[in-house]
Each structure stands twice: as structure tokens, then as C-alpha cells.
Structure 1
Amino acid sequence: MAFTEAHIHSAVLNSFLYAIVGTFITLVLGTMASYVLSRFNLKMNGFVYIYFILGLMIPVFSLVIPISRMIGSISGFNNYLVMMVLYGTFELPLTIFLITGFMKGIHKEIDESAVMDGCGPFRFLFQILTPLAMPAISTAGILAFFSIYNDLLWNVILITERDMYNISMALMSFVGERGSAQMGPTFASISLTIIPTVIVYLLFQEKVEGGLSSGAVKA
């Protein structure tokens, strides 16, 4: 069956699904982990922080074989949930690095005031600390969104059903079948993949730049 423009449209929706849910997962887990790492004086915090930061240094290609075998052992190929959890997990190191660094720059006097007012840890995190750390959280979320949206590696390895392709995989298959014979549909498909990311960046441009500059000042 030939790869059509309809598959491209479906792939765009899949990319948004992977990116939105994967970003949500990494932000929720990353924010809670950063809260513990930045506000609690636990002996293992240093080790845990380094453990996550090492994730930024390990080449993703070195993990392809063990992760594909692990997912194969649980019959996780062609599975939306597995893909979204995998994406969210792989974005955790950068998310924790950005949010933890920002939260460490927020004065801990706020914690003492919240405790005196009877504020519990979860309420303090989501009602007080999270809004204050929103520049870093927004930056981490947008970077994670773009990374997941444009992924090709894991889609090539873990997805074989065309209905589950993301935009990068669909575009590669579409161009591979059409070659240079039909440049019109090819360039239309390329434009369709680029436009959503441009729109998202223009909408959140100030948050990305503000988050990065705030992090630089606090560092």
C-alpha cells in the first residue's frame, strides 16, 4: 500500500500525541524530583542528581539494543503508551537539570513561611513553588516537546504500523516512495511537518528565552 498524504496527516496527529503526553509525563515527574533535590537536605540527593545528569552524557544510540530488547520482552512494540512513557523518561535528565537549578535559586525562606501557614508539601509544590519556577518549567517543556515531536530513532525501532508513525518516520517513508518524481507533494509534506513547530515556537518564544536567561542569571 502506497504512502499517501492521509498518512502524513495521521502522523502529524501522532507526533502531537506523543509530544504532548510525553512532555506532560516528564514535567510532572521532573518537577516533583526537582522539588526533592532542591528543597530537601537528604544524603542521597547528590548521588541522585548526578545519576540523572549522567543521562545527558550517555549517547542514546548506546541504549538502543538493551531498550528494544526490554520492550520486546513485554510485547511493547507498536504501543502508544510505551512510546509516550519512553519519550517522557528520556526527557527527564534535561528537565531535572533545568528545573532543579532554577528551584535552588529560590530562597528557602518561602518554605519556612509556607510551613508556618500550615501548607503541606504537595500544596507548597504545586501552588507556590511551581508558579515561581514556571520559567524553567516552560523552557523544559518546550524543549521536550520539540525533541519528542521530531524524534526518528525510536519510531524506526519500535513502530512498524503505519497508522502509528510520527511525522519524521512518515516523511521518510513518503519521500522514500515518491523520490524526486513528485516534488509538489513532497515539499507540501515537508511544509506540513515544519509549520506546527514554528507556530508552537512563536507562541512560546518569550517563555523559552525568559527561562534560559533567568537560569543564566541564577547560575
Structure 2
Amino acid sequence: MHKTTIGIVEDNAQLGQDIRDKLALSEEVEVLFEVRNGQVLLQTLATGTIPEVLLMDVQMPEMNGIEATWRVKQKYPDLKIVMLTVMDDEQKLFEALQAGASGYLLKDAKPHQLFNAINYVLEGGLPLSPTLASRVLSYLKGDVPIPKPPISGTENLTKREQEILELLMQGKTVKQIAEKIFVADKTVRKHLEHIFEKLQVHSYKELVAKLNGGNK
């Protein structure tokens, strides 16, 4: 009998065990690994241990689930990813879907709901928690505008860094940004260093490419 291979990405050990306990109720799935953040996930996948489905936490240290999803899908486009979260959050839902997630469920989903979601996503479906599914339908019908997701990776920036980044993308120079937010030029440059480091880019050209890619 073929077993569906699963990878769990969850920073909370107890919640990770809860997911394992639910999956243990079925003989049709096998957990290949459980890791605590997106950074370790990428390292694990790089060793060749690649499951059919990832169950991914949204909020994690080091690298959150949405950034990890985006990075995973760049290298492993066929890998299915179901986001698991403790609360319905339509903004995070759209960020996750934009990053390439194949589903979005609450962590308190019943075992049968989890198994159904895994099977559904392998068949090409998009499993969603019931409350979020109704909201997605509203967006698709045009009743409500789809929220514009933030650029991938910028959620780790401080408010000041996000403000400077936005001004930079408007074409402002360092001097103009400094005047706009009432700080010294060198302070803006220091913030830009932090922005480059957090977004893992080394030049303005790379930064623009990443930002444009994040909003596709």
C-alpha cells in the first residue's frame, strides 16, 4: 500500500505532536520529518528528503511559513503545501496562496478533515477552512476586493524600515528619504543595510527584482 509522505513544519513541539497524533490514526500516511522553522526545512529538503505534502505553520522564527513556502515552491514546484494556523486570517491566506500554498486549514481541524485536505490537495484541489472558504468565494464573486498582499519577506522589517523601503521604491534618493522622515542621511543608509540583510539582497538591482517578484 502506498503511503503519502508528510513533512511537518511547526515551531511549537506540542502542536507538532498533536499533528503527529492525528496523522497516526491513518495507515495511509507516513511522517518523514518534523522541523521547527523554514530555514531548517530548506536544509532538510536539500538533503533529498522530500515528502509529497508539507503541513506548514504560518508564524515561525528564523523564517516564517509564507516566506518558506515561496522559497520551497521556487525549488520544488510540485511539492504540495498546506498551511496550518491557529486562527482564520484572510490576509495571511492570500499571502500564502500567492506564495504557492495549496491549502489553508486551522490547526484544530479534526483528523478526518486533515486527511481529506491531504487527499484533496494531492488531487489538485484547494482545501480551506470553512470560514475562509466562504470569504474566498466572496472575493471571487467580486463582492469584496482582494487585499493586496505585502511583498514577500518584508513582514520581518520594522515599521521604519518598511517606510524607508516604500519611499525608496517611489524613486526617492537617500537624501530625499532623510528629509522626508527627519533623520540624517547616514541613518537612512544604516536602515538600508538592515533591509538588504533581511531581504537577503546585495544591491539595489537585486532588491527591485525581489520586490517585483514578490508582487507577481
Q: Which has the higher strand share?
A: 2
Structure of higher RCO (CA pairs closer than 8 Å, 6+ residues apart): 1
Q: What interval of TM-score do these two structures reach, taking the shorter chain for normalisation?
A: under 0.3
Provide the TM-score with structure 1 as the length reference.
0.25
Provide the TM-score with structure 2 as the length reference.
0.25
